[in-house]
Amino acid sequence: MIVQTKSPDLDDFSEKILFGVNKALRKLVETSASNNKSLVISDGKGNVKSVPAKELLKTLRK
């Protein structure tokens, strides 16, 4: 029995999920920035901090 480790359908599905998540995060940051709110984020090392949404919006890709 041969088990495929990756399938094209799974790759397409993963890309769609990531696209949707990124779109939702952008909307969250834009809405928070327009309301002068801050968001709590992680720095990648497990530390959390509060960042103004306007500053975070500057770092996001379009």
Instruction: Tell me which H or E stretch contains 38.
Output: strand 38-42
The pLDDT value recorded for residue 10 is 78
Q: Which of these, 58, 4, 7, 9, lies nearest to 29 by C-alpha position?
A: 58
The pLDDT value recorded for residue 11 is 85
User: Quick one: tokens of 23?
Assistant: 């779109």
Note down pLDDT in tens along the chain; length 62 residues: 444 556 677 788 999 999 999 999 999 999 999 999 999 999 889 899 999 999 999 988 76
The pLDDT value recorded for residue 4 is 54
CA 14 to chain centre: 14
**How far is 30 from 53, CA to CA, in rounded Å?**
7
Residue type, position 52, single letter: P
In this prediction the pTM is 0.74
Q: Which residue has the tokens 């769609």?
A: 16
